[in-house]
């Protein structure tokens, strides 16, 4: 269920509110372009700024828009174990297929605290759990041995690894059952991640170039790393541009340039600055519209 190109979808805003029309259109575009699952209300979706009602709206929109065509993964992690359990239950009520649970941020739990947190969430969860390890944002790292222990839980089925450490992929693969899924949380190293044993990427860049990202993942999963590398070469300027300012500022700017949604973000995120906008403009100029939409991605990569 969880593999391939899985965009960490932005939450579009208009005049301070969730732009439901733009969100529905983004979901339809992503599915049409070949994305294999949608991750909603994560970091790129500005989840910490969403009210409970807005979070419901975003997850419900994903479920309705996908209509079973692709899995919907709901970002459910908080720095409260009880709050996370409640949110996972709500995601299940809304029809999500899986829950993404981030390392508890700010609290900086010990190894024992991490094990207890994720096990408590998984024990209570009606949904499969994707652990989201992003020490750069959460201030706590789930080491390989701890992840291996968590992977033994029947409902903890995947990890989104945003450490950028490719050696971890092989180490974790050797400590877990073959069915445990490892997903990159970092676009620039996604090809290398798969080569080490990963099965896909929870991608920021796929917001903007879903067809290319889906084609890259199809090639990598088929073992065609020549094609995957050529696609990665084309995407690399965009990968870089989207993180020149705090995410998702540059990503929303790119989507506005493509006519997909407004560039509007919520504080404490601010709009992309001059340098980031220029880099996004240059990256988009190198990718024609058919390639971005996914209509000619394989032919364009040859």
Bridge partners (DSSP) listed for residue 182:
159
Spell out where the chain has E strands.
Answer: 4-7, 13-14, 17-18, 38-40, 72-75, 98-102, 129-133, 156-161, 181-184, 200-203
Give the separation between CA 165 and CA 27, rounded to whole angstroms.
30
Catalytic residue among 105, 106, 108, 160: 160
SS3 of 121-157: the string is HHHHCCCCEEEEECHHHHCCCCCHHHHHHHHCCCCEE
Helix axes 274-285, 225-241, angle to 10 degrees: 150
| Chain center to CA of 53 | 22
Active site residue 105: no
**Nearest-CA neighbor of 107 among 133, 88, 81?**
81
Catalytic residue among 132, 225, 252, 295: 132
Give the separation between CA 24 and CA 61, rounded to whole angstroms.
7
Token pair, residue 29, equals 């575009």
Kind of pairing, strands 181-184 and 156-161? parallel
Give the separation between CA 269 and CA 248, rounded to whole angstroms.
8
* SS3 state at 67: coil
Active site residue 160: yes
Catalytic annotation, residues: 132, 160
């Amino acid at each position: 269920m969880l593999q391939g190109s899985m965009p960490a979808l932005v939450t579009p805003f208009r005049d301070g509110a969730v732009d439901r029309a733009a969100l529905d259109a983004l979901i339809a575009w992503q599915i049409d372009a070949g994305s294999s699952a949608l991750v909603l209300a994560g970091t790129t979706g500005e989840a910490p700024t969403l009210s409970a009602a807005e979070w419901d709206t975003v997850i419900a929109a994903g479920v309705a828009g996908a209509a079973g065509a692709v899995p919907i993964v709901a970002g459910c992690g908080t720095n409260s174990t009880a709050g996370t359990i409640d949110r996972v239950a709500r995601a299940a009520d809304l029809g999500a297929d899986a829950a993404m649970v981030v390392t508890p941020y700010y609290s900086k739990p010990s190894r024992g605290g991490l094990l207890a947190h994720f096990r408590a969430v998984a024990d209570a969860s009606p949904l499969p759990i994707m652990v989201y390890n992003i020490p750069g944002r959460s201030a706590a790292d789930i080491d390989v041995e701890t992840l291996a222990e968590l992977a033994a839980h029947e409902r903890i089925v995947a990890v989104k690894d945003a450490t950028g450490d490719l050696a971890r992929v092989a180490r974790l693969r050797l400590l877990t059952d073959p069915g445990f899924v490892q997903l990159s949380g970092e676009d620039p190293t996604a090809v290398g991640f798969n080569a080490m044993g990963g099965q896909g990427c929870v991608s920021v860049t796929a917001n903007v170039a879903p067809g290319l990202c889906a084609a890259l993942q199809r090639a990598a999963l088929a073992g065609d790393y020549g094609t995957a590398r050529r696609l990665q070469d084309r995407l690399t300027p965009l990968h870089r541009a989207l993180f020149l300012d705090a995410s998702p500022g540059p990503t929303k700017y790119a989507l506005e340039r493509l006519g997909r949604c407004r560039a509007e973000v919520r504080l404490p995120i601010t709009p992309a600055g001059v340098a980031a906008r220029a880099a996004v403009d240059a990256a988009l100029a190198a990718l024609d519209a058919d390639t971005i939409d996914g209509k000619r991605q394989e032919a364009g990569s040859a």
